[in-house]
């Protein structure tokens, strides 16, 4: 994808990550699975406080925040939110305050992303029995009352503006694949708040990428996830102008691997984490990439993804949370 393929109306962006992130061929695992050749786009190496996919989204979202004179970020997530960790890191790098609202009550120990949130200077608020949205609204109002200028970053940074990070990421990946002289039949990504998949889907439409973008659902039924991906992709397209709005979106999701629910580690995730770590020295995370890669391995074993195909897995990060899942793993 060349610069000329992107519409000229790309919004402002503040650079937070280190790009391009590497491509990696999982040669030993591909041989072990007796399936397609598997490659990984290492977005766990974006470089912001251990990296991850939220970095790309925040580059566009926080450019808007700075343009509005923001001096404090407020966001929300689960107790081991990768998004909250990267938002806290971005706030520190930009000299902003940060408050994160986490689901439920504080755990006995500060491990994983929760420890990093605090090291990065974030003010951590626990929602308890209340909704995170209600607590976040309260935090925003208290900050305004104290004279601060807060900016609310939605869950996962999954807005049309945030999804533009993965429109740009698709351009980056296709340029790398062209250098490798490599055609990819299927790109696989874990999909939850859906902004990453939405950006990839829009990027694929803008570049006429002929392969599939398959989102493996982490926590939502297939129709719900497909609707969310489509909505966010269309929001992003409108930001780019009429050329993008007319693009044909191909949204494909698989919700066969929801297991016990969000952040509940089961046999699928344990097998994926241990197999990839012990075969390739590559760490996945228990919530997103562990579930998504476990789904990919099952699709390969079932021959849904054929032996002659080439697969690119988007590693969206999250290994920083591993220590909080010791008992589950």
Note the pLDDT tens digit of each residue in 209-257.
999 999 999 999 999 999 999 999 999 999 998 777 777 899 999 999 9
- Burial level of 223, CB count in 10 A (0-12/13-18/19+)? exposed
Q: What six digits make up the tokens of 57?
A: 């989204």
Distance separating alpha carbons of residues 162 and 153, to the nearest angstrom = 10
pLDDT tens digits, one per residue of 19-39: 999 999 999 999 999 999 999
Indicate the residue among 98, 133, 157 that finishes a domain.
157
Q: How many domains does the chain have?
A: 2
Indicate the residue among 90, 124, 157 that finishes a domain.
157
Residue 8 predicted with pLDDT over 60: no
CB 230 within 8 A of CB 280: no
| 164 plus 240 within the same structural domain | yes
Q: State the DSSP H helix or E strand holding residue 151, giving kind and residue range, or none if neither.
A: strand 150-152
| 80 plus 109 within the same structural domain | yes
Nearest to 89 by CA among 144, 157, 159, 37: 157
Catalytic one among 81, 191, 192, 217?
81
| 85 plus 144 within the same structural domain | yes
Distance separating alpha carbons of residues 173 and 182, to the nearest angstrom = 11
| 27 plus 145 within the same structural domain | no
| 122 plus 194 within the same structural domain | no
For all residues of the chain together, what is the average pLDDT?
95
Q: Is 30 annotated in the active site? A: no
19 is in which domain, residue-wise?
3-52+158-325
* Runs of H (alpha helix) within the chain: 27-33, 54-67, 82-94, 112-119, 132-145, 160-179, 195-207, 222-240, 242-245, 267-280, 289-301
| 108 plus 180 within the same structural domain | no
| 205 plus 312 within the same structural domain | yes
> Which of 181-208 are b and which e, b meaning 16 or more Cβ less than 10 Å from the residue's Cβ?
eeebbbbbbbbbbbbbbbbbbbbbbbbe
| 176 plus 146 within the same structural domain | no
Q: What is the pLDDT of residue 2?
A: 35
Nearest to 220 by CA among 192, 195, 198: 192
Nearest to 17 by CA among 109, 118, 89, 97: 89
pTM above 0.85? yes
| 42 plus 176 within the same structural domain | yes
Indicate the residue among 104, 138, 157 that finishes a domain.
157
Nearest to 121 by CA among 51, 52, 67, 72: 72
Distance separating alpha carbons of residues 9 and 230, to the nearest angstrom = 21
| 133 plus 279 within the same structural domain | no
pLDDT tens digits, one per residue of 178-199: 999 999 999 999 999 999 999 9
| 139 plus 232 within the same structural domain | no
| 129 plus 149 within the same structural domain | yes
Nearest to 154 by CA among 90, 246, 61: 61
pLDDT tens digits, one per residue of 123-133: 999 999 999 99
Q: What is the pLDDT of residue 247?
A: 76
Q: What CATH number is associated with residue 89? A: 3.40.50.1100
């Amino acid at each position: 994808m060349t610069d000329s393929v992107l519409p000229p109306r790309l919004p402002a962006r503040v650079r937070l990550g280190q790009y391009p992130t590497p491509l990696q061929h999982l040669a030993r695992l591909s041989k072990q699975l007796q399936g397609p050749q598997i490659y990984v786009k290492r977005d766990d190496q974006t470089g912001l406080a251990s990296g991850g996919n939220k970095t790309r989204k925040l580059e566009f979202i926080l450019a808007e925040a700075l343009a509005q004179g923001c001096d404090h970020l407020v966001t929300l997530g689960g107790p081991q939110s990768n998004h909250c960790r990267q938002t806290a890191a971005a706030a520190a790098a930009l000299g902003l305050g940060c408050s994160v609202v986490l689901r439920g009550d504080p755990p006995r120990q500060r491990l994983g992303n929760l420890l990093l949130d605090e090291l990065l200077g974030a003010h951590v608020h626990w929602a308890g029995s209340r909704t995170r949205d209600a607590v976040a609204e309260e935090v925003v109002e208290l900050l305004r009352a104290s004279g601060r200028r807060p900016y609310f970053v939605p869950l996962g940074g999954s807005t049309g503006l945030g999804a533009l990070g993965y429109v740009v990421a698709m351009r980056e990946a296709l340029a790398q694949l062209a250098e490798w002289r490599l055609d990819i039949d299927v790109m696989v990504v874990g999909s939850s708040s859906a902004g990453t998949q939405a950006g990839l889907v829009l990027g694929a439409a803008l570049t006429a990428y002929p392969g599939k973008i398959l989102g493996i659902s982490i926590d939502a039924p297939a129709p719900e996830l497909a609707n969310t991906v489509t909505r966010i992709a269309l929001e992003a397209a409108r930001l780019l102008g009429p050329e993008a709005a007319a693009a044909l979106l191909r949204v494909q999701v698989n919700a066969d691997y929801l297991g016990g629910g969000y952040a509940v580690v089961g046999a699928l995730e344990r097998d994926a984490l241990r197999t990839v770590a012990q075969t390739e020295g590559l760490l996945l995370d228990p919530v997103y990439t562990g579930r998504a890669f476990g789904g990919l391995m099952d699709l390969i074993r079932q021959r849904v993804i054929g032996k002659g195909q080439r697969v690119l897995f988007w590693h969206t990060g999250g290994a920083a949370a591993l220590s909080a899942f010791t008992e589950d793993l």
